[in-house]
A and B are shown apart, each in its own frame.
Chain A
Amino acid sequence: MPTTTIYTLIKQLFTKKATNPFPVKYAPSNMHGAAALIGSGKVRINPPVNIPKNFRGKMSYDKDSCIGCKLCLKVCPSEALAFKDDVKKVKHYVSRCTFCGQCADICPKDCFAFTDEFLMAGTDKYAEEMVIDP
């Protein structure tokens, strides 16, 4: 008996799959090994899903235009920003950031901007790429 279920099932066989296998088609048993293989060019990385236009990814900081007014420190909900008194600039801990964008909104000189980068998972939260240190 042809039911709605069978009809939907057959239809779904020919539609584009919603799941994007990322970074590789099958989940590797060893992530570090997979990363090494991708690095050496033996395995091709599956591109991630297109991100939206106003996506809030890793922060970029323009230290030259920063005037050291400390306004961003007042609105950061997760204390991801620290002030460096010696250089009068802001240090940004990416691992603590919640990507709310309030620092970018309050900055009078527009020093902060959001990049498209979102691959930030790691084991060391104080790694070089996880701390933006002017």
Chain B
Amino acid sequence: MNSDNTYEVPIGPIHPALKEPFLIKFKIDGERIVGAEAHPGMNHRGIEFMGMHRNPYKVIPLSERICGICSIVHQHMYVTAVEHAAGIEPTNRARYIRVIMAELERIHSHVLWAGVAAHEIGFDTHLHFTWMIREKVMDLLEYITGNRVNYAMWTFGGVNRDIPKRMYPKIEATLKYYEELYGKLEEIFLGDPSIRLRTIGVGVLTKEDALRLCGVGPTVRASGVRKDVRIDQPYAAYGDLDLEYQLPSLYGYGDTGDIFSKTLVRLKELVQSIDIIRQCLDQMPDESINSEPKMAATLNKLKKADGEGIGRIEAPRGEAFHYVRLKGGKEELDCWKVRASTYNNLATYAPMFMGEQIADIPIIAACIDPCIGCMDRAEIVDVNTGKRREYHHEELHRLSVKKTRDLLGGVER
């Protein structure tokens, strides 16, 4: 118990409300949350460090494994970043196939999230229902790529596997399945009175807070922020396609930023993804899927390449970012930095938790669709003792002042 009559309640690193290791420390006054502090760093695997000891081709399958379900997202960003650094252009057909795959994954991710959100507020039947319908899109991904997860679809200059005309009927059938089921999903998640009670007015993120804390993706679009990399800075084939920011105000709801509007935005994006895939199938040009059919030639080009590149894409959870630096004559990546969307959205936890009840913690924690495996990139490990620790702001400031003093002392001597 603190001096101001508040209690501190840690949730995590291992807790039923969280699907991945992560720690949030809450300050509780009675039943109300008066403070929340996020402590990431429990799921660090050193993937960037591993990547910097391999050549660019070896990192493609590694980047795929940063996240359990966004394997397409990280591959897409990494490949775009390297292509940017080395000046490789993918073919137009490959750009369209990349969009189709990315949108299929968005359907997959949003349906999965809806199930997790329902589970967090106690509707396990809805969890089973959404995970049942998610099987269809996983079957489709398996049909296109050959595997259910870790698709190994991306390569420099294009994609590994084509989507020929014979696959269109099955893709169309799956899209139709989701279109028919959408009404039911809307009825469950937007019409059900008990779900509305648990979601309307809970975990509110105001537009000001969303802009101030640099949140990304559906989390801030629900607050009315017009922010979507697919429209703001089109990549792959998104420049040719017709799409619109999905805001709750488009559908006659307020841009309130509560959990209800976040659910609404995700469900509407599901419909939008179906529309985008249809547009892609119509417009896809007939050409090669890779600009350089000889992989060995690209490998040599990458060895000589010198420069830095970025890959910025709209993941299902929001904008994510990869930075790659290549050095001429060096086979391995010179630098690789991953910034996943959860890293930004984590900051929005603080205003969302404020004033809510302890019982609302699981659903608010789930509402940004956190992916800790993607996010955890930095941790301080003491090499001599093997101990892990986190540095707080004051401590860092003290260390910084000490270093300045040490440096000044060195000059004086």
Q: Which residue numbers of A lie inside 8 Å of B, CB to CB?
A: 5, 18, 52-56, 71, 74-78, 98-102, 105-106, 108
Contact = CB atoms under 8 A, between A and B. Distances in A.
Contact of A55 (B135, B146, B160): B146
Interface stretch (B54-62, B171-179, B278-286): B54-62
B295 interface: yes
Interface of B: 54-55, 57-62, 125, 132, 135, 142-143, 145-147, 150, 152, 155, 160-161, 295-296, 299
A56 B295 contact: no
Nearest to B135: A18
Contact of B60 (A52, A55, A78, A102): A102
A98 B295 contact: no
Contacts of B145: 54
Contact of A102 (B61, B125, B132, B146): B61
B152 A99 contact: yes
B146 A56 contact: yes
16 contacts: A5-B125, A52-B146, A53-B146, A55-B146, A55-B147, A56-B146, A56-B147, A75-B55, A77-B58, A99-B147, A99-B152, A101-B160, A102-B60, A102-B61, A106-B295, A106-B299
B164 to A, nearest CB: 11
Nearest to B146: A54
A99 to B, nearest CB: 7
A56 to B, nearest CB: 5
A98 B57 CA distance: 14
A98 B150 contact: yes
A106 B146 contact: no
B57 A75 contact: yes
A71 B297 CA distance: 11
A108 B296 contact: yes
B295 A75 contact: yes
B296 A98 contact: no
A82 B125 CA distance: 50
A48 B62 CA distance: 29
Nearest to A55: B146
Contact of A100 (B125, B152, B299): B152
Nearest to B290: A105
Contact of A77 (B61, B132, B135, B155): B61
Given A52-B143, A77-B60, A77-B61, A101 B152 contact: yes
Contacts of B60: 77, 100, 102
A102 B61 CA distance: 9
Contacts of B61: 77-78, 98, 100, 102
Nearest to A9: B125
B311 to A, nearest CB: 19
Contact of B59 (A77, A101, A105): A77
A75 B299 contact: yes
Contact of A52 (B54, B135, B142, B155): B142
Contacts of A56: 146-147, 152
Nearest to A98: B61
